[in-house]
Amino acid sequence: MQRVPIALGERSYEILIGTGLLADESAWAGLPQSAAALVVTNETVEPLYGAQLVRAIAAHHKAVHTVALPDGEAHKDWPTLNRIFDALLANACDRKTVLYALGGGVVGDMTGFAAACYMRGVPFVQVPTTLLAQVDSSVGGKTAINHPLGKNMIGAFYQPLRVVCDLATLATLPLREFAAGLAEVIKYGPIADMAFLEWIEANLAALVARDPQALAHAVRRSCEIKAEVVGQDEREAGLRAILNFGHTFGHAIESGLGYGEWLHGEAVGCGMVMGAELSKRLGLVDAAFVERLTALVAKAGLPTRGPALGADRYLDLMRVDKKAEGGEIRFVVVGPPGQASMRPAPDAMVRDVLAACCG
C-alpha cells in the first residue's frame, strides 16, 4: 500500500493506494468509530463492491446503512442529493455519522456535498472505484451537483478524512469509462510534469491492459501532483485552477449536449486539445506540442474534435464557468509544456479555435 499525504493543516489526510484495500484492515484502521455510517453508492457499484465495504467498516459502527443512487451524470442533481438526506434522516443519523462515498466522481462529489451540509458537516471517506475518481475527483475536497445551466455550480469545499483507492475495483470498469479516466491522468503532464507525460506515452498499452504496476504508478503520480497543488491553494485562489486544463471547453460540451451524453473525461480530453490549440495561438506552445497531445488523447480512445454546438453557444456556456469574472472567460493555458496559467483570450481567437477543433 502506498500513502500520499495531503497537507492542509488540521484538514490533512492521506490517500491510500493499493490492490485489495477493500479487504485490507490496515486501510480502515484509525477511522472514527460511531453509532451509524451511511455508505452512499449507486445501483451499478453497490452489487459489485457494497458488501465488501460494509464488511471492511463493520467493526467501526453499530449500524451501517446503504443508499444506492441512480447511476449517471444526469442524476448529479438536487432530487438525487435529497435521497442521501432522506436516508440519513430516516435512519436517525446523528452528527457523528460517517458517510462513505463508494463509486465514481458522481457519487463522490454528491456524497461530499451531502456530508458538508448534513447537520452543517459530518465526516466522510472517499472510496473511489473509477480511474477518474482515483486520480482526481476523490482528492482535494471539491464537492458539487450540477445545475441545468452550469456544471458543478452548486457545491462546497469539504475535505474527506481519507481516500482509499483499491486498484482492484478498476478491473470491472468498462473500457469507455477507463479511457475517460485517462484524460485526467494525461492532464497532469502538460500542466505539471512532462516526464510523466512521456511515461504515459510509453505505458499507455500497459495502463489500458490494467497492469497493476502501471496503474499504481499512474494513480500515485497523479495524486502526488494534485496533492502538491491543493496543498498550496485549497480553495482555488489561483494556482489550483491549472487542474482545470481542458475543463472550460469540456464543461461547455457537457452542459451543451446535456449531462451524460459525453462522459466528463471525454469532454476534458477534447477540451485539452482545444486548450492546447488556444495556447498555440497565444504563442505559448508550438504546433508539435498540440500534435503530440492530440495524438495521445486519440490513442487513449478519447474524442479530439468537439461537437458542433456553434461558437455563440460555446461562448455563452463558457461565460458561466466558475473561472469567469464579470462575464470574461478565463482559460487555463499551457506554456512552456509542463507549466500552466490562467488568462483571458480575445473572443475572435476563441472562435478560431472552435472553428479549427469542432464539427
Judged by beta carbon, residue 54 or residue 242, the one nearer ligand GLY is: 242
Instruction: Tell me if 250 contacts ligand NAD by CB under 6 A.
Output: no
Q: Does 133 bind ligand NAD (CB under 6 A)?
A: yes
Q: Is residue 264 close enough to count as binding ligand NAD by CB under 6 A?
A: yes
Q: Can you tell me the distance from the alpha carbon of 75 to that of 44, in angstroms, rounded to the nearest whole number?
A: 13
234 makes contact, choosing from ligand NAD, ligand GLY, none, with CB < 5 to 8 Å by partner type, with none
To the query of whether residue 217 is one of the catalytic residues in this protein, the response is no
**Position closest to ligand GLY via CB:** 243
Which of ligand NAD, ligand GLY, none interacts with 160 (beta carbon under 5 to 8 A by kind)?
A: none
120 among known catalytic residues: yes
Q: What angle (nearest 5°) sits at the alpha carbon of residue 217, between those of residues 216 and 219? A: 65
Residue of 226, 280, 281, 322 with catalytic role: 226
CA angle 57, 61, 62 (to 5 degrees): 130
Q: Which of 42, 217, 244, 322 is catalytic?
A: 244
Question: Which grid coordinates are listed for 210?
Answer: 490494467
Label residues 86-104 b or e (16+ Cβ within 10 Å = b): ebbeeeebeeebbbbbbbb
C-alpha cell at 12: 490533512
Helices (H) and strands (E) in the chain, counts: 12, 11
46-70 burial code (b ≥16 CB/10 A, e <16): bebbbebbbebbeebbeebbbbbbe
Using CB under 6 A as the binding rule, whether residue 183 contacts ligand NAD is answered as: no
Q: Please, which residue, 93 or 318, has the CB nearer to ligand NAD?
A: 318
CB of 129 or CB of 279, closer to ligand NAD: 129
> Is residue 248 a contact residue for ligand NAD (CB under 6 A)?
no
Q: Least distance from C-beta 131 to ligand NAD, angstroms?
A: 8
Nearest to 215 by CA among 269, 167, 181: 167
Residue 115 engages ligand NAD in binding (rule: CB under 6 A): no
Near ligand NAD in 29-48, by CB under 6 A: 42, 44-45, 48
Residue closer to ligand NAD (CB basis): 164 or 180: 180
- Tell me the sheet residues that pair with 142: 157
Q: Is 25 a catalytic residue?
A: no
Dist CA 47 CA 59 (whole Å): 21
**Residue 193 φ/ψ, nearest 5 degrees:** -160, 90
Interaction partner, residue 251 (ligand GLY, ligand NAD, none; CB < 5-8 Å by kind) = none
Q: Nearer Cβ to ligand NAD, position 93 or 107?
A: 107
Q: If contact means CB under 5 to 8 A according to the sort of partner, which of ligand NAD, ligand GLY, none does residue 240 touch?
A: ligand GLY
- Dihedral sign computed on CA atoms, order 215, 216, 221, 224: positive
3-class DSSP assignment, residue 185: helix
Among positions 37, 54, 68, 73, the unique one binding ligand NAD when judged by CB under 6 A: 73
**In whole angstroms, what is the distance from residue 316 CA to residue 108 CA?**
28
Paired strand residues for 63: 36
- Binding residues for ligand GLY (CB under 6 A): 136, 140, 142, 240, 243-244
CA 71 to chain centroid = 16
Dihedral angle, C-alpha 71, 125, 17, 187, nearest 10 °:
60
Using rule CB under 6 A, residue 169 touches ligand NAD:
yes
Among ligand GLY, ligand NAD, none, partner that 116 touches (CB below 5 to 8 angstroms by kind): none
Of ligand NAD, ligand GLY, none, which one sits near residue 244, judging by CB under 5 to 8 A according to partner kind?
Answer: ligand GLY
198 is catalytic: no
Cβ distance to ligand NAD smaller for residue 189 or 265 = 265
Contacts of 147 (CB under 8 A, 6+ apart): 153, 154
Q: Which three cell numbers stand for residue 94?
A: 446523528
> Which residues would be at the binding site for ligand NAD (CB under 6 A)?
42, 44-45, 48, 71, 73, 76, 103-107, 109, 129-130, 132-133, 136-137, 140, 142, 152, 169, 172-173, 177, 180, 264-265
Q: Which residues are catalytically annotated?
A: 120, 142, 184, 226, 236, 240, 244, 247, 251, 264
